[in-house]
Amino acid sequence: MPDNSDIPGLSFEKALAELEGLVRKLEEGDASLDGAIEAYERGALLKQHCQKKLDEAKARVDKITVSADGTVATVTADME
């Protein structure tokens, strides 16, 4: 089984780029069965990592509001 311990340290952009590459590779159908299974497993972990990064970013994003009198305030973004 391949070592996937590097995934937690990947940035969102690097993880997404690798995930896209794995999807292309699987769509081409040139991989062996074992290779395809390993790519799928790593892809699932990369997808989970990307989702976690997106959720963390969404939690940190603040919405800036300006009231009618010009007062500026921040409101934490909804976590729907």
Euclidean distance between CA atoms 37 and 25, whole angstroms: 12
User: What is the Cα Rg of the chain in Å?
Assistant: 19
| pTM reported for the whole predicted model | 0.74
The identity of residue 24, as a single letter, is R
Tell me what pLDDT residue 75 has: 73
Tell me what pLDDT residue 51 has: 97
Q: pLDDT per residue over 44-72, tens digit each?
A: 999 999 999 999 888 777 666 777 888 87
